[in-house]
Structure 1
Amino acid sequence: MSSFVVKSIGSALNATSLISSKYAAKKAINLFASPRKGRYNDDQKRIIDSAFFEDICYNNMEIATYRWVGKGKTVLLMHGWESNTARWEYILNDLKAQDYNIVALDAPAHGRSDGKQFNAVLYSEFINAVAKKFQPEVLIGHSVGGMASVFCMYHYQLPSVKKMILLGAPAHFTGVFDRYKNMMGYNKRISSGLDAIVLKRFEKPVSYFSAANFTESIKAEGLVIHDKNDKIIPYEDGQLIASRYKNSEFISTTGFGHGLKDESLTPKIIQFIND
C-alpha cells in the first residue's frame, strides 16, 4: 500500500476510536495480521512442482509441506511475512547438491496453508507440528520465520534440532508492533487497544515475545545473519539476538537487504550445517 493509503486508513481508524476504541483496535489488529500476498502465482508454483507435497493437519488446519528427499541431514525451511516456500529457490540447488533431506512449510495464511490471519505464535505451532513429523536437525528461518523458529525452540525444545540459522530475524515483537503503529499513525487509544488484545489473546504482554531473550535458553548452535542495509528489520535486531544467543555466530553483511538472497552467503550456511 502507498503511504497515502496507509495514513488514510490510520486516520479513519483513529476517528473511529473516538466512538469505540475497542472496535478500532480490533480492526487494526485484523489489518496487521492479514497478509495481502503470499499465495502462489504461476511462476512460484513452478518452483515447488518438483517437491513432494503433503498436508499436515494441526487443530483442523492444513499445513502445506514440501520435500526434496535426500540422504543427508534434514533441513527445515521457514519463509517470512507475505512470502512462501518459493522464496528458497535461490538456495535450493545448493542444498540439494549436499544431499540434504529438505523440508519446507508454508506459514498460516500463506502459500497453500490454511488460514486467513497470521501471527508468529501460530506459525511456531505449525513449525512444531512439522518438526514432530520430520525430525529436522537444522532450522533455517527468514525474517518472521526466524522469529517463529525461536519461539518454537523456546517453547517446545525440539530435541532433534542441533543447529538454527536466522536470516534477518526480528529480535522482539515490541519492535515489530511499534513499527506497525508508527507506520499507520495510530493514536494512543488504538495503540493501547492493540496491546490489550495481545494480552487477552495470548495471556502475555507484547514485551514477553522476545526472540532475543528466548535464545538465551536455546542449546542448539546458532548462525545469525543480518544486513546493515535491512530496511524492514533493523540491523540492531540482529546484533541484539547474537548478543543474547550465547551459542551463536554473527555474520554482518552490507548491501544484501532484508532478503539476504546472495550466493556468497550460501557456502557459509552450508559450512555451518556441515561442521
Structure 2
Amino acid sequence: MSPAADTAVAAASPIASFYGGGRVVRGLARVLQAVQKFAPGFGTRAALGLFFTPLPSKRSARRLAVPAGWRVERWPFETGSMAVYRRADAEPGRPTVLLVHGWAGHGLQMQALGDAVAAAGLNPVLLDLPGHGRSDGWRSTLPQFVRALWAASARLGPLHAVVAHSMGALAASHALAHGLPAQRLALIATSPPPKLVLKWFAHGFGLGAAMSMRMRRLIEQREGIDLEHFEADELAPRLPRATLVVHDEDDRAAPAMLARRLADQVAGSRWLATRGLGHRRVLAEPQVLRVVAEHVTRPIGIDDSGQ
C-alpha cells in the first residue's frame, strides 16, 4: 500500500471512534495507560484481555429466538461447544455452504444469506463462532476463528462454498489459503488485517505503537501463528479463482480500499461494490443476496473473471 493510502486508512480508524467515547471507556484508557507505564507486561495482558472480548456482549444474541425453518445444534469445540444453525428442511446430499459471521456478531446475522442459498438449492450452515452468540466462552481470537472453521469442515466434510463476513471473512481466507476444502468463496466486508487492527486499538486507548507490537508478539506466542499470514499479499495468491469480494464504499469499520486490494490480487475474482449500506446492512441487501447465491451455485469451470 502506498504511504498516502496507508495514511488515509489510519485516519479512518473505526477502533478509535468505537472506544474513544464515554466516561467509562475514557477511565479505562487512563487505567491501561498507567498500568502500561509502570508494568508493561501486565498492561499488555490487560489490553489483550479487552481486545479479545467481543463488544457489545453476546447476551443480546443469546436471547434471539431461533427463526422459523431453522434448528440449532451444539458441536464440541476445544474446551466447550459451538452453536450451529441448520435448515429444518435441509435435504441430504445437497452441497453444503458454510456461512460465517464477523467479530462481535452472531450466526443469525447470516440468516438472509442462508435463506437465499437454500432457495438456490444448497444446504446452508450458520456458525456462532467461539465467544459469540450461543457458543461457549466470552473471549475469542482470530486464530481461534480459523480453528473453528477447520472443526466445522471436519464435521461437515468437503464444503461447496464458504460465505463469510468481516473478521470471519479474514478467517475464511486464511483457512482456504491453507487447504480448507471448499470450491467457492464469498467475502463480504472483509476485515482489515490484524496488524492494522492492533494499531487502531492501541491508538484508540492512547497506548502507542509499542503496545501494539507487544500485543502482536504475545498473540503470536500464544497462538503459534504469524499474523503476517493474514495479510492480503500472503492470502491472495492462494485463494480460489471462484472468489467473490463484496464491499460497501461507505463501510466505516473496514475500509473498502483494503478489500479492493485483496480482490485485485486474487486471479479471476469477482468484485461487487455497494453504497450506503455500511458494514452490516450489506448482509441483507437484495442485490448482495442475489449475487452471492448466483456465485455459490455457479458450476466450477464457468468463467469467474472479475467484474
How far did residue 99 of structure 1 move?
Answer: 2.8
Tell me how many residue pairs correspond in the alignment: 272
Counterpart of 2:168 in structure 1 is 145
- Match for residue 90 of structure 1? 112
1:254 counterpart = 2:275: yes
Q: Amino acid of the residue matched to residue 46 of structure 1?
A: V
Aligned: 1:8 with 2:30: no
Percent of aligned pairs sharing the same letter: 22
Residue pairs, 1:27-106, within 5 angstroms: 27-36=46-55, 37-41=57-61, 44-47=64-67, 50-68=69-87, 69-70=90-91, 72-106=94-128
Q: What displacement does 1:199 show?
A: 3.0
Q: Which moved more, 1:190-199 or 1:218-227?
A: 190-199
Q: Which runs of 5+ in 1 are unaligned?
A: none
Q: Is the 8 A contact 2:241 2:266 kept in 1?
A: no
- Distance apart, 1:64 and its partner CA: 1.4
Deviation at 1:162, TM superposition (A): 0.6
Counterpart code for 1:3: G
Partner of 1:240: 261
How far 1:50 moved relative to its partner? 3.5
Task: Tell me: CA distance 1:166–1:102, structure 2 relative to 1, closer, same or farther (3 Å).
Answer: same
Question: Helix, strand or coil: the match of 2:38?
Answer: coil
CA distance in 2 between partners of 1:204 and 1:134 (Å)? 25
Deviation at 1:219, TM superposition (A): 2.8
| Distance (Å, rounded) in 1 between the aligned partners of 2:63 and 2:121 | 25
Q: What is the distance in 2 between the residues matched to 1:195 and 1:88?
A: 30
**In 2: Cα distance, 1:175 partner to 1:42 partner:** 30
- Which piece of structure 1 moves more, 65-74 or 130-139? 65-74
**Paired residues for 1:16-31 under 5 Å:** 16-31=35-50
State which drifts further: 196-205 or 247-256.
Answer: 196-205
Output the amino acid matched with 1:82. A
Gap runs ≥5 in structure 2: 1-18, 299-307
Confirm or deny: 8 A CA contact 1:58 1:129 kept in the other structure.
yes
Is residue 212–residue 245 contact of structure 1 (8 Å, CA) maintained in 2? no
Question: Does the 8 A contact of 2:66 with 2:72 survive in 1?
Answer: no
Distance 1:153 1:21, change over 3 A: same
Whole-angstrom CA distance in 2 between matches of 1:93 and 1:171: 27
Q: 1:216 aligns with which of 237, 241, 251?
A: 237
Q: Please state how far the C-alpha of 1:212 moved relative to its aligned partner.
A: 5.0
Contact 1:85 1:104 in 2 (8 A): yes
Q: 1:188 to 1:252 in 2, by over 3 A?
A: closer
Could you tell which deviates more after superposition, 105-114 or 50-59?
50-59
- Distance in 2 separating the partners of 1:229 and 1:59: 37
Deviation at 1:91, TM superposition (A): 3.1
Q: Tell me if 1:124 matches 2:146.
A: yes
The answer to whether residue 281 in structure 2 is matched with residue 274 in structure 1 is: no
Question: How large is the Cα RMSD of the aligned pairs?
Answer: 2.1
Residue 241 of structure 1, CA deviation: 1.2
Contact 2:73/2:84, CA 8 A, preserved across alignment: yes
Q: Which residue identity lines up with residue 108 of structure 1 in the other structure? A: P
CA distance in 2, matches of 1:201, 1:107: 19
Looking at structure 1, the residues matched to 39 and 62 of structure 2 have their Cα atoms a distance apart, in angstroms, of 42
Q: Which amino acid aligns with 1:54?
A: E
| Contact kept in structure 1, 2:192 and 2:255, CA below 8 Å | no
Closer/same/farther in 2, CA of residues 163 and 212 from structure 1, 3 Å limit: farther
TM-score, normalised with respect to structure 2: 0.81
Q: 1:33 to 1:137 in 2, by over 3 A?
A: same
Q: How far is 1:208 from its partner?
A: 3.5
Q: Cα–Cα, structure 1 residues 17 and 171, in superposed 2: closer, same or farther, change >3 Å?
A: closer
CA distance in 1, matches of 2:220, 2:63: 40
Shift of 1:96: 2.6
- For 2:132, the aligned partner's letter is H
Which SS does the other structure have where 1:64 is aligned? strand
**TM (normalized to structure 1)?**
0.90
Describe the shift of the 1:203–1:94 C-alpha distance in structure 2 as closer, same or farther (beyond 3 A): closer
Give CA-to-partner distance per residue, 1:204-230, whole Å, 9 cap, x none: 454343255213112351000111100
